[in-house]
Amino acid sequence: MNGNTEVANKETRSDAAVSGLLAGILAGVVMVAFLAAAGFAGGSSVADVLARFGAGEGAMPVAGLLTHLAVSGIYGLVWGILIHIMRRFLPAPAWLLGLAYGLLLYLVAQGLLLTAPTPLAGIPPMQFLIAHGVYGLTLGLAKQRGG
């Protein structure tokens, strides 16, 4: 066994939750950077894209960014616990499991969150799909690299 395998086997569930939380925040930064770049390329300002993540109409961009990072961290925490449990049963690479998790989050968002009027509905569906894939892939790669 190499050193990384031994460390991964000794990781507690609480360690997995904390590393998931941190990976979720990192993945949230990468996701919002993608959405900001895509929005900018489509004629929106970065501030407009960030404000979509805030609560209600007229949200401030900083509030939208912080809300997005908080939600990303919580989803990452859940990811950390799930991957800690699933790695025993699924021999798939972490990046693939992360990608699947990101796409699952997209489906949940489409089915639950975006059924009512929300500023997030202004993000083109394909960008939103790719952004969730980027989020999940980043989670998986963070797990693959660091634990």
Q: For 44, phi and psi rounded to 5 degrees?
A: -90, 155
How far is Cα 116 from Cα 86, in angstroms, rounded to an integer? 33
Say whether pLDDT at 3 is over 60: no
Return the residue matching tokens 């449990």: 85
Please say whether the beta carbons of 147 and 20 come within 8 A: no
CA 13 to chain centre: 20
Helix (H) or strand (E) holding 132: helix 125-146
3-class DSSP state of 3: helix
Q: For 36-55, what is each residue's pLDDT tens digit?
A: 999 888 888 888 888 888 77
The domain ranges of the chain are 3-146
Residue carrying structure tokens 């999940």:
136
Residue written as token pair 């004629």: 43
Q: What is the pTM of this model?
A: 0.85
Kindly report, residue by residue over 76-103, the tens digit of the pLDDT. 999 999 999 888 888 889 899 999 999 9
DSSP per residue, 47-76: HHHHHTTSSSTT--HHHHHHHHHHHHHHHH
